[in-house]
Structure 1
Amino acid sequence: MPDLSERPSIHKRAIVGLLSMLTLLGVFPIDVVLPSFPALSEHFRNSSSDIALSVSLFAVGIALSQLLIGPLCDALGRKKLLLIGIAVSAIGATGCVFTDNFWLFLLFRIIQALGCGCFVISQALIQDLFTGAQQQRLRIFLVTCGGIFISVSPLAGTGLQSWMGWRGSFIVFIVLAIGAFAGACLLLEGAVQGCRSRRMSLLASYRNVCGHFGFVAYWLTSAFAFSCHFSFIVISPLIFIEQLQLSQEAFSMTLLGYGLAYIGGGACATVLSNRIDSHAQIITGLGLILAAGLTMLVLFNILGLSITTVLLPMVVCTAGTTIARAAAHTQAMNIFPEQAGTSASAGSVLIFVTGGLTSAAISLSPFALPLTLALCLIAFSLLGITLNALVRHRHRALMPG
């Protein structure tokens, strides 16, 4: 697949549009069902905690599928695997629409998740089709879009719940998947093949990238930042709907306000990317997440549970997440550019497994949810800062003189 620098700007915009749609499809099936928790619980006669657990399981399913997708797309090309994945995700969503059994619903959700794992290929496509500062700007844009999509999806879910019931979100996903399938067919010409990766087995590919300390550290940093945001999204119905007794509409508008913070976070990340290096951006983002955790801890202990004591710190966390993730992504992907697919999959697996397990642990915690979430923000930000200090130290130790 040729570099887009030689293509008309309209083709570049179309590619960015396709990447945005893939980003939407990657988060839409996770968050659009949040307002449907009560309806799903009633329909399948399971608790809301079981429904929340199914969201975490979905994230883990995505991660597992990416273990295969990354190395395969390095060897076989991006387009073919992307099209297969989109088709599988649509089949899983179709199964969810027609089943009335909770265990079959979980099975089809896993099938949908396995197909959604193909959306990690978008990270490899960025590496293939864009260069230099374009990559950083596009990653900031897509991280910002992803956060906005995550936060706006519940509002869309509320409308779909009122209009079509809980099945509506899956029907819309199928329609979007068909559009993405057609876009990929038209816009992705040929196949990207990593010749080095073709000579390596799947295990050897992962051993090569995961044996690099900096690579793992940068992706773990992104995973920690993502987990803070993702855990809040997963447990938000339990806090706002069950504990604070908000209506579905009020809950969706609350998350919409949270989503708008991603626009500010993306703007800050863009400005910082032009003024400070990636390491400083990462530390700045993690510092904001730490401040958010400490703020939530203090507010919850003094004022108790309210929309303000939860949402205000999470708005600060959002800015930190956007800044840290985009910089960490770029740093990690630039280490092994010839294995872009494997690199993206290895990192995305870390992100989704960490996010899924963290959100599941928080939702099942015997302690107050805001307290547990605040401690998670503090712990993960400190771990990220420590990891990046170690990366910096090792880099300086390896420099001559």
Structure 2
Amino acid sequence: MMSDRRIERPRSPHIVTLVMATATGALAMNVFLPSLPSIARHFETDNAVAQLVVSLYLAATAGLQLLIGPASDRYGRRPVMLSCLVVFLIGTVASLFVTTIELLLACRVLQAFAAAGMVLSRAIIRDTVGTDEAASKIGYVTMGMALVPMIGPVIGGFLDEWYGWQSTFVLTLVFGLTAFTIVYLDLNETNHAPTPSMLAQFRSYPELATSRRFWAYTMTAAFTSGAFFAFLGGGPYVSTEILGLKPSGYGLYFMLISLGYMGGNFISARFARRFGINRMMLAGNVIVATGMIVSLLLFSSGFVHALSLFGPAMLLGFGNGMTLPSANAGIVSVRPHLAGSASGLGGAMQIGGGAALSVIAGLLLSPDSGAQPLILVMLVSSCLALCATLYGMHIDRTEGPLPGSDTD
């Protein structure tokens, strides 16, 4: 069988193009978080309703990925990416003029179309390079994109104080317009073998669902990111109610996780081609599990301090940064002709599973529980990710590695 590195591939867009496309959705998710109380006051609603601006966006993102991926396999990456960015821009502009919280929530659903950047960047990379090189390029993309959740809330907080909550949506609009322009000018069509119909693409989901490799990579990604989502669900409560941190203190400590994630992305980008995606996932999951064990031992020994949580959580970010680029490269490489569908289905399962773990982590915490329930959820999730990786390596030993993955 011919190695997919010898197949003539379409021209790859510049890495900055993919970073901008991917970061658009991340900015829309993070930049306005400090403005949630202001949004609640502006629309005279309670905080629980204002929080729907976050949860509804996540739900819409998960659902849209199931449509965006197949649509790109049918109609091409470029038209679907540009169309979704246009819908995102319409929703962002409309959010500046809404008069009710219900209309703002509707605008957030439109903004969720920015998920195309995340879904299609992975498929575009897989269209243009082989499996291990895809993990490397995805690592570079996510490393650049990781800057947004690290600094977005900080910028959003200052904008809210100076100009009001609408200013964060103005920033999002400017960023989105810039991303659209760059994508329009640089992104060529990379899907040179479109499928005959959308119905055929939805029929492809059983083909993916019956692939043991697809499940191994998807479960690795879902449980790896699930540990991080669990932290998002329970970390703020532990920080404020148990550790006594102010929101600003939480934001500063959270930068440790983002820095760790960028570091893991850098390692993935540099070494995925040399060591292969399975070894990168294995090492990343071991690092995450080790960090959670250290955190659990620190709290159980009476070291109730912010660094007992955020120090090991930096290893969580680092391990995620190593694991997720390789897992996502594997997801879109199981059936290369269905890369868009695989990226959409895998991404939806990652976000859906991670959101469920965030809810579980939040429910287990109380003023008397300490931080241990949160850490245990994160540890269990990382161990399940490790098991999924080992299962994928077992498949490779029995069936042979993926084409283009010569070092696994």
Which bin holds the TM-score, normalised by the shorter protein? 0.7 to 0.9
Residue 4 of structure 1 is matched in structure 2 by 11
Secondary structure of 1:359's counterpart equals helix
After superposition, the C-alpha distances for 1:166-186 in whole angstroms (9 at most, x for unaligned) are 222211111111112212221
- 2:340 corresponds in structure 1 to 341
Q: Which moved more, 1:164-173 or 1:367-376?
A: 367-376
Deviation at 1:376, TM superposition (A): 2.1
Aligned to 1:155: 154
CA distance in 2, matches of 1:284, 1:134: 18
Give the TM-score normalised by structure 2.
0.86
**Aligned pairs for 1:259-298 within 5 A:** 259-273=258-272, 275-298=274-297
Tell me: CA distance 1:167–1:245, structure 2 relative to 1, closer, same or farther (3 Å).
farther
Answer yes or no: is 1:143 the counterpart of 2:142. Answer: yes
How far has the Cα of 1:53 moved from its partner?
5.0
Aligned match of 1:9: none
Aligned partners of 2:48, 2:372: CA distance in 1, in Å?
Answer: 18
1:213-268 Cα distance to aligned partner (Å, 9 max, x none): 11122022112212222343455544445665655544433333332222322333
**Aligned match of 2:58:** 59
Report matched runs for 1:1-400 at 5 Å.
3-4=10-11, 15-52=14-51, 54-117=53-116, 119-131=118-130, 133-190=132-189, 192-196=191-195, 198=197, 201-233=200-232, 235-240=234-239, 246-273=245-272, 275-303=274-302, 306-367=305-366, 368=369, 370-398=371-399
How far does residue 126 in structure 1 lie from its aligned partner after superposition?
1.0
Q: Which residue of 1 aligns with 2:406?
A: none
Displacement after TM superposition at 1:312 (Å): 0.9
Cα 1:120–1:233 change in 2 (3 A) is same
In 2, Cα distance between the equivalents of 1:220 and 1:256? 27
Equivalent-residue separation in structure 2 for 1:278 and 1:133 (angstroms) = 6
One-letter amino acid matched to 1:143: T
* Contact map agreement 1:66 1:118 (CA 8 A) in 2: no
More displaced, 38-47 or 152-161? Answer: 38-47
Aligned equivalents of 2:241, 2:163: Cα separation in 1? 23
Question: Which residue of 2 is the match for residue 8 of structure 1?
Answer: none
Contact 2:10 2:128 in 1 (8 A): yes
Secondary structure of 1:201's counterpart equals helix
Task: Report the identity percentage.
Answer: 24
3-state DSSP of counterpart to 1:99: coil
Cα pair 1:35 1:154 within 8 Å, conserved: yes
Kindly provide the CA deviation profile for residues 19-46 of structure 1, in whole angstroms up to 9, marking residues without a partner as x.
1111211211212222223323433455
Deviation of 1:348 (Å): 1.0
SS at match of 1:98: coil
Equivalent-residue separation in structure 2 for 1:325 and 1:331 (angstroms) = 10
Q: CA 1:369–1:345 in structure 2 vs 1: closer, same or farther (change >3 Å)?
A: farther
Find the residue that maps to 2:96 and give its secondary structure.
helix
| Higher mean displacement: 298-307 or 30-39 | 298-307
Q: Are residues 98 and 200 of structure 1, via their aligned partners in 2, closer, same or farther at CA, if it must alter by over 3 Å?
A: closer
In structure 2, give the amino acid aligned to 1:78: R
**Count of residues in correspondence between the two structures:** 392
Could you tell me which runs of 5 or more consecutive residues in structure 1 were left unpaired when the two chains were aligned.
6-11
Question: Residue 148 of structure 1 contacts residue 262 of structure 1 at CA under 8 Å; is this kept in 2?
Answer: no
| Contact 1:86 1:115 survives alignment (8 Å) | yes
Aligned-partner Cα distance in 1 for 2:344–2:379: 27
* Structure 1 or 2: more helix by fraction: 1
**Cα distance, 1:362–1:103 mapped onto 2, change above 3 Å:** farther
**Displacement after TM superposition at 1:197 (Å):** 6.1
RMSD (CA atoms): 2.8
